[in-house]
Amino acid sequence: MSATTTDKYPNYSPGLEGVPAGISSISEIDSDRSSLQYRGYDVHDLAEQGSYEETAFLLIHGHLPTAAELADFNRLLGAEREVPEAVYTALAAMPKHTHPMDMIRTAYSILAPFDPDYTAPSTDHAANLRKAERIIAKGGTMVANGHRIRQGLAPLKPNPSHTTAQNLLYLMRGEEPDAKTLQVLDASLTLYAEHGFNASTFACRVTVSTLSDLYSGVVTGIGTLRGPLHGGANEEAIRMILEIGEPENAQAWIDDALATKKKIMGFGHREYKKGDSRAFYMSKVAKELGIEKGVTKYGQIADILEKTMAERKNIFPNVDFPASYAYYLLGLPIDLYTPIFVASRVAGYCAHAIEQLDHNRLIRPKQIYEGQENLAYVPVAER
Ligand SMILES: CC(=O)SCCNC(=O)CCNC(=O)[C@H](O)C(C)(C)COP(=O)(O)OP(=O)(O)OC[C@H]1O[C@@H](n2cnc3c(N)ncnc32)[C@H](O)[C@@H]1OP(=O)(O)O
Ligand SMILES: O=C([O-])CC(=O)C(=O)O
């Protein structure tokens, strides 16, 4: 950036770091206390004592459901889990090497015109809530059945009595999951559900701020979540842990990585400089899972990386780091880690899209132009 630009725009912040870009009452990140609340409730309480469904209801409706509201919401999600055959036909037509993030992004695109509220105005609050419920209900079905399709297996019919985590695991594997797997996946879905103006949620808000619809916002969000600096980090983190392989390799690996200025995936966060509280919680869950399964080496590798990163760089793991080896211990396919994140985060996307549309102002920031000016046009034949 040139000196003139710095003088002209003293408040310019690359990557919009620290720039307030809107008002929201959905979640509060307290960087100093490393805490996260969804609509005033600590995420730890929701992950430990609640469920993903309660969390999704809280995010889109603004309050914790009563027992009757939760029962109705669960019934509604169960009834809405199935997706039109056209979605599966489109997924089956994608090349075999397609990343499942591209499959789930495409699946939501195909789904949009099938929504009974497709033609409702984008600012119709009640229609948007109904769309949000369908978007949340169908995410796991599309991720799991997309996984079946790419393996040459037929999609399975969702069981309407299943929760979001159960639906995902049952469709993916064709059998009922065990209680521990369900508990860990459900907690991770709760922790992944929402995180303020992160890149993908912000991108979703930008999209709907043009008065575009919720599905377009979700598709934008998924495309933005895919990158390894954001949601894609959970896949990269486990690949790194597997490359390290054994705890006795970890110290030399991290020493070398830091010496060669490698980015350590699953570490660092734009908002948390003292640690991500979700990572503390998820690490505990992942390590307990390792002990239960008799596979403690990933937790040991994690300890060495965490200690070295804290001592030498003052950088701490984000939620993607422990989620990555928890998911590995659960036997989930690595390239589904970010799509599973999507199946959860759509609740946050929808809550933000609705909030944006309820109080809309087009999001259109200013650029700083540093290119050439006033050049004389030369006809192509003379260049
Ligand atoms: C769900 C989520 O999306 S959580 C985030 C998931 N992403 C990752 O895990 C990818 C790895 N992490 C990162 O790339 C970064 O920490 C980000 C993108 C998440 C946050 O980045 P920013 O807030 O822009 O921090 P920034 O990149 O400016 O880092 C500050 C310093 O810490 C270093 N740093 C930050 N993260 C890491 C990391 N993971 N490994 C090594 N060094 C790091 C940077 O190199 C930089 O050092 P420098 O000042 O010497 O240049
Ligand atoms: O907030 C961010 O920058 C990234 C994110 O989505 C999260 O940590 O859950």
What is the ipTM metric for this complex? 0.98
Residue 65 burial (CB count, 10 A): 18
Residue having the nearest C-alpha atom to atom 23 of ligand 1: 270
> For residue 15, with 0-12 CB atoms within 10 Å meaning exposed, 13-18 middle and 19 or more buried, which class applies?
exposed
**Closest C-alpha residue for ligand 1 atom 28:** 270
**What distance in Å separates the CA atoms of residue 12 and residue 212, rounded to the nearest whole number?**
28
Closest to 218 in 3D by CA, of 196, 198, 200 = 200
- Cα distances (Å, whole numbers) of residue 24 to 58, 103, 189, 363: 14, 30, 21, 14
DSSP state of 267: B
- Residues annotated as catalytic (active site), given as ranges: 269, 320
Which pair of structure tokens corresponds to residue 190? 């709760």
* Ligand 1: lining residues by beta carbon, under 6 Å: 15, 229-231, 233, 263-270, 313, 315, 318-320
Q: Which residues have C-beta within 8 Å of that of residue 10, sequence separation ≥ 6?
A: none
CA distance linking residue 50 with residue 62, whole number of Å: 15
Strand arrangement, sheet containing 41-42: 27-30, 35-38, 41-42
Please give the class, per CATH, of domain 38-178+193-227+335-358: mainly alpha
pLDDT of residue 229: 98
At position 83, the amino acid (one-letter code) is V
126 CA → ligand 2 middle, Å:
28
Q: Per CATH, which fold does 233-329 belong to? A: Cytochrome p450-Terp; domain 2 (1.10.230)
Q: What is the CA radius of gyration of the chain?
A: 22
For residues 14 and 34, give the distance between their C-alpha atoms in angstroms, rounded to a whole number.
23
Pairing of strands 27-30, 41-42: unpaired
For the CA of 201, the closest atom of ligand 2 is: 6
Q: Note whether 248 and 158 are within 8 A (CB).
A: no
**Nearest Cα to 337, choosing from 109, 126, 185, 179?**
185
Are 247 and 4 spatial neighbours (Cβ–Cβ below 8 Å)?
no
Whole-number Å distance, alpha carbon 1 to ligand 2 midpoint, is: 27
Facing residues of 27 across strands? Answer: 38
Residue 319: the pLDDT is: 97
Nearest CA to ligand 2 atom 5: 198
Report yes or no: 266 and 233 within 8 Å, Cβ to Cβ: yes
Pocket test for ligand 2, best of 19, 28, 230, 345 (most atoms within 8 A of CB): 230
Q: Residue with the nearest Cα to atom 1 of ligand 2? A: 198
Instruction: Name the residue ranges covered by the structural domains of the chain.
Output: 38-178+193-227+335-358, 233-329
Domains 38-178+193-227+335-358 and 233-329 in one fold: no
Cβ–Cβ < 8 Å for 106, 94? yes
Which residue's C-alpha comes closest to atom 6 of ligand 2?
198
- Spatial contact of 168 and 144, defined as CB atoms under 8 Å apart: yes
* Calpha distance 65→44 (Å, rounded): 17
Task: Please tell me the predicted confidence (pLDDT) of residue 61.
Answer: 98
* Per-residue pLDDT tens digits of the chain, which is 383 residues long: 677 777 889 999 999 999 999 999 999 999 999 999 999 999 999 999 999 999 999 999 999 999 999 999 999 999 999 999 999 999 999 999 999 999 999 999 999 999 999 999 999 999 999 999 999 999 999 999 999 999 999 999 999 999 999 999 999 999 999 999 999 999 999 999 999 999 999 999 999 999 999 999 999 999 999 999 999 999 999 999 999 999 999 999 999 999 999 999 999 999 998 999 899 999 999 999 999 999 999 999 999 999 999 999 999 999 999 999 999 999 999 999 999 999 999 999 999 999 999 999 999 999 999 999 999 999 999 99
Taking the centre of ligand 1 as the mean of its atom positions, its distance from the CA of residue 201, in whole angstroms, is 19
What's the pTM value of the predicted model, to 2 decimals?
Answer: 0.97
The amino acid that residue 281 corresponds to is: Y
Q: Where do the H-state alpha helices sit in the chain?
A: 3-8, 43-49, 52-61, 67-79, 85-92, 100-111, 125-150, 164-173, 179-192, 199-208, 214-225, 233-244, 247-259, 277-293, 297-313, 320-329, 337-358
**Given this model, what pLDDT does residue 1 score?**
67
Q: How far is the C-alpha of 215 from the C-alpha of 128, rounded, in Å? A: 10
Ligand nearest to the CA of 314: 1
Across the strands, what pairs with 267?
Answer: 317
| Ligand 2 residue neighbourhood (C-beta within 6 Å) | 195, 198, 230, 270-271, 318-319
How far apart CA 245 and CA 300 sit, in angstroms, is 11
